[in-house]
Amino acid sequence: MSGPYLYTVSINDGRELGLKWLEPSDIPAVQVFMEDLTEDEVRLLNQDLKDIEAMTRRLGRLGGDRLRVLAAFDPEVGDRMAGYAYLLRGSWAAAHRAVVECLVHREYRDLGLGSTMLRELAEAGKAMGLMLLQAEIQVDRKEQITAFKRLGYELKAILEDYRVDRQGRPYDVIILLKRLRHPSAQEFLYKY
């Protein structure tokens, strides 16, 4: 069992899923989730979910101020992981922003789960004092871009050949930003 949950959410087909911040003890559930992903589902992700050793190391560092991973679990299917969304805080000059990414298992897509998890990440980002959330999406993924825009992300740049997929092929990326708070003049002068 992966519970206890922060809370449960109803997705658009009526199922109740539990949301919680991942902990190192959840690694077995993450491994099962990763094994069920197709190559097309993981080829454009920032994180290599199929690299079990790297994911184990990464998940072992959870709970800090830099990486937060929110996961959804389906209690009706043995607490199977239904998706995740992560927030990776920048460091040094980028410590005011975080990169976000979300992946929902194909059986739970188009049911509002991804949007729910991304909204929760935005709240966590505010609590962490972040100013911006950044998403990097392949330009061909129009549905994802539209979903992020509905959540308040704004298109800021299109970068040609910015990233490469698992086979080394470059592709264009759209950078979307969501402002969580505006710095006041006093904060700016104090920091710099």
The model's pTM: 0.86
Q: What pLDDT is stored for residue 38 in this prediction?
A: 84
Listing DSSP states for the chain in one string gives -----SEEEE-TTS-EEEEEE--GGGHHHHHHHHHT--HHHHTT-SS-TT-HHHHHHHHHTTTSSSEEEEEEEEGGGTTEEEEEEEEEE--GGGTTEEEEEEEE-GGGTTSSHHHHHHHHHHHHHHHTT--EEEEEEETT-HHHHHHHHHTT-EEEEEEEEEEE-TTS-EEEEEEEEEE--PPPHHHHHHH-
pLDDT, tens digit, for every residue of 170-185?
999 999 999 998 776 4
pLDDT, tens digit, for every residue of 81-95?
999 999 999 989 999
List domains and CATH numbers for the chain. Answer: 7-191 (3.40.630.30)
Q: What pLDDT is stored for residue 48 in this prediction?
A: 61
Q: What is the pLDDT along the chain (192 residues), one digit of tens a residue?
A: 345 898 999 999 999 999 999 887 888 888 899 888 888 777 766 666 556 676 666 666 665 678 888 999 999 999 999 999 999 999 899 999 999 999 999 999 999 999 999 999 999 999 999 999 999 999 999 999 999 999 999 999 999 999 888 788 899 999 999 999 877 644 554 555
